[in-house]
Amino acid sequence: MKTYSENSTKAPEPLFGKAYKGPYSHIDGNDQNTLTDTPSIEELLQRNADLWRGCDMAGQGVHGRSTGYPQLDEILPGRGWPQNGLLEIISPQWGMGELQLLIPLMRSVIEQGQWILWISPPHLLYAPALVQAGINTDQVLVVNLETACKDALWSMEKALQTKNCGLVLAWQTWLPGKVLRRLQLAAESGSTLGVLFKHRDSKYSPSRIRLQLKGSSSDINNFNEAEVTVVKARGNFRPLTTRLQLYQHHS
């Protein structure tokens, strides 16, 4: 399945034209039974995705969103995509499976009734492939490739801060660390996940996760199988690699 159309040269057109209350604040001296309803320390720890624990590397910590690829879940802290923040996918060229890697996530976002924003995709989107993958294109927005970088970044930041937007996909290779940190904060405040597609790695990036995608070494044009390396992840102290069959059926 191809999510980019073949021989596309035109830029894409739009597809659709508390304050915290402590766990003990309700308890008085005569109501000891309510203590049993308060969260345990373990539950509080599990809720904090920014807290790294050694068990995450031993397969015990689960607080991420499943990628749809069990092998990839196994090497990601939290056993899946982060709930919010920035994620970087680095690949030597576009169209080698980087979008296929995110199909299960996109479908999940659509099923939750949220929007997906595409920022400056390099090729015209192939809508029939998205529909075939279970992605309602009525919930997809596109910022054209010709849009000025300043305006594209403004759109991305606002979308990341919006609760109704569940996922932002952006092709913005040359972004300084200051801009990336601002986008990271926007994603955290909006509980939104932003994905940056890049050709080159930047080891000082503040993104939560950086993945490197490589095609089959035996056939550079065969993208059915890909090697995915977790270059960096919060809670991960060493690179981890797995091989995935990208074009498979996701239940």
In this predicted model, which residue has the larger pLDDT, 249 or 203? 203
Residue 140 sits in which domain range? Answer: 32-245
**pLDDT, average across residues 64-73:** 91
pLDDT, residue 192, reads: 94
Q: Decide: residue 40, CB within 10 A, 0-12 exposed, 13-18 middle, 19+ buried.
A: exposed
In this predicted model, which residue has the larger pLDDT, 217 or 246? 246
pTM for this entry: 0.72
| 82 vs 48: CA distance, rounded Å | 11
| 94 occurs within a structural domain | yes
| 7 occurs within a structural domain | no
| 251 occurs within a structural domain | no
Predicted confidence (pLDDT) at residue 197 exceeds the cutoff of 70: yes
In this structure, what CATH number is given to the domain that contains residue 123?
Answer: 3.40.50.300
Q: What is the pLDDT of residues 117-160, one digit of tens each?
A: 999 998 888 889 899 999 999 999 999 988 888 899 999 999 99
The 3-state secondary structure of 82-143, one letter per residue = CCCEEEEEECCCCCCCCCHHHHHHHHHHHHCCCEEEEECCCCCECHHHHHHCCCCHHHEEEE
